[in-house]
Amino acid sequence: MAVGSDRFPSMPALAGIRLGTARAGLRSGPGDDLAVIELAPDSVAAAVFTRNAFCAAPVTVAKRHLKVSPSPRWLLINAGNANAGTGQQGIEDALATCRALSDLTQGQPTQILPFSTGVIGEPLPVEKITAALPQALTSLSPQNWENAARAIMTTDTRPKGAVAKVTIGGKAVTIAGIAKGAGMIAPNMATMLAFIGTDAKAAPATLQSLLQTCVGDTFNAITVDGDTSTNDACILMATGQANNPTLDASHPDLDAFRHALHEVCAQLAQAIVRDGEGATKLMRIKVTEAKNETEARQVAFTVANSPLVKTAFFAGDPNWGRILAAVGRAGIDQMVIDDIRIWLDEICIVSGGGRNPDYTETQGQQVMAQDEITVTIALGRGQTQTQVLTCDLSYDYVRINAEYRT
């Protein structure tokens, strides 16, 4: 179950990037569960990773390899096994898969960035991965974006992709990306897994700054269930094949590129929420008139992560008291209740410290029958605003996670 269209976008071939997939048998059910992304020589990469203290072994290895070789040549991604909570053996297993791929490609292990997603606490089946690598390499193609997006899915019901085009220094530049994620979504830097490529030529420091900026109000402004994954990673790869003047902090087209990158990140982040486990509704929690960004996000995430709010939306119940209660417990100092107004779409449901006198239950029910709803909360404290995307909490979310390992 998911909200909105499941059409995968038309993804162009991106110069300097090829993608290949294979079935290693790590994930139950049919379909490939291993992906390799090959980058042209001299490509550069930026990355952000989970801040979960129990970060997965591939996260640790990928960080190390980026420090040694900021110009990676291959990304190796497996679904079905997170290789998290696996101690030193998990590190050795991640390194073993990197060595196996480097042997086949005549590269260096440090030029390979490993990524995993799936069940936590299970040893990584290294032999299955290494056995499937030749097939993944054989299938390498610039056209394989959708196949790769499918190969990295776990509880996702649909592949997720996005693309944008921009002109940099008179040269046409493409930005394209895929992502996976449906549950354990409350990112604290990025999302479950996202891989974004561009044929632009960019300075590494500029690429890193752009990624961190765009992640802030896209991947870091979504929540499905309030849980931050051990494996979160978002990678931005630049191959330089567009032959544009190098994008750096002083480039006149920097803002144009940032806008296009932000568009791709925003589309992927929204796709994750639309595909939230068991989701039937997409909810935009918009907080306005806050004193600062921290305060605005605090209120937005408190409402977005409230099980009582999320189950009311699943039921189509305009129980505005649950929203009001969540705002009240968000921990905002010296909140003036009488100044707060709350809307469901265009319908004002709360004002003056209680139910808006013009509000009717019929109005609320009409809004709640929609599959996309905006909740706007005006705090009456300042000029800052923010938005967080979330989804409802359904019976299927409980079923999916109760049966995840069975």
pLDDT at 29: 83
pLDDT at 16: 98
pLDDT at 6: 84
What gap in Å lies between CA 350 and CA 320, rounded to an integer?
8
User: 264 with 335, same domain?
Assistant: no
User: 361 with 223, same domain?
Assistant: no
- Residues 322-356 have pLDDT tens digits of 999 999 999 999 999 999 999 999 999 999 989 99
What gap in Å lies between CA 319 and CA 209, rounded to an integer?
42
What is the reported pTM?
0.95
Q: How confident is the model at residue 405 (pLDDT cuts 50, 70, 90)?
A: confident
Distance of CA 368 to the CA centre of its chain: 26
At position 121, the amino acid (one-letter code) is: G
User: 256 with 293, same domain?
Assistant: no
pLDDT at 188: 83
- Print the domain residue range for 100: 17-274
Query: Using CA atoms in the order 86, 90, 91, 94, what is the torsion angle rounded to 10 degrees?
Result: -150
User: 360 with 254, same domain?
Assistant: no
At position 85, the amino acid (one-letter code) is: G
pLDDT at 8 over 70: yes
User: 221 with 324, same domain?
Assistant: no
Q: Determine which one of 174, 191, 280, 376 is catalytic.
A: 191
pLDDT at 35 over 90: yes
Q: How many CB atoms lie within 10 A of CB 11?
A: 21
Kindly state whether residue 181 falls inside one of the protein's structural domains. yes
Q: Is 191 a catalytic residue?
A: yes
- Residues 198-242 have pLDDT tens digits of 999 999 999 999 999 999 999 999 999 888 899 999 999 999 999
Compare 193 and 69 and report the one with higher pLDDT: 193
Q: List the single range of 130-139, 182-191, 252-261 with lowest mean pLDDT.
A: 182-191
pLDDT at 191 over 90: no
User: 258 with 362, same domain?
Assistant: no
Residues of the chain with pLDDT > 90, as a percent, come to 91
What region does 253 belong to: left with phi over 0, alpha with psi -120 to 50, or beta? Answer: alpha
User: 248 with 329, same domain?
Assistant: no
Kindly state whether residue 157 falls inside one of the protein's structural domains. yes
User: 305 with 197, same domain?
Assistant: no
- Residues 291-321 have pLDDT tens digits of 999 999 999 999 999 999 999 999 999 999 9
Residue that terminates a domain, selected from 255, 274, 293: 274
User: 129 with 210, same domain?
Assistant: yes
pLDDT at 406: 65
* Helix, strand, coil in percent for the chain, rounding step 5: 35, 25, 40
As a whole number, mean pLDDT of residues 366-394 equals: 97
Residue that terminates a domain, selected from 213, 246, 274: 274
Kindly state whether residue 2 falls inside one of the protein's structural domains. no
- Residues 81-124 have pLDDT tens digits of 999 999 999 999 999 999 999 999 999 999 999 999 999 999 99
Quote the number of domains for the chain: 2
Please answer whether residues 143 and 149 qualify as being in contact, where contact means their C-beta atoms are separated by less than 8 angstroms: no
What gap in Å lies between CA 174 and CA 269, rounded to an integer?
19
Q: How confident is the model at residue 5 (pLDDT cuts 50, 70, 90)?
A: confident
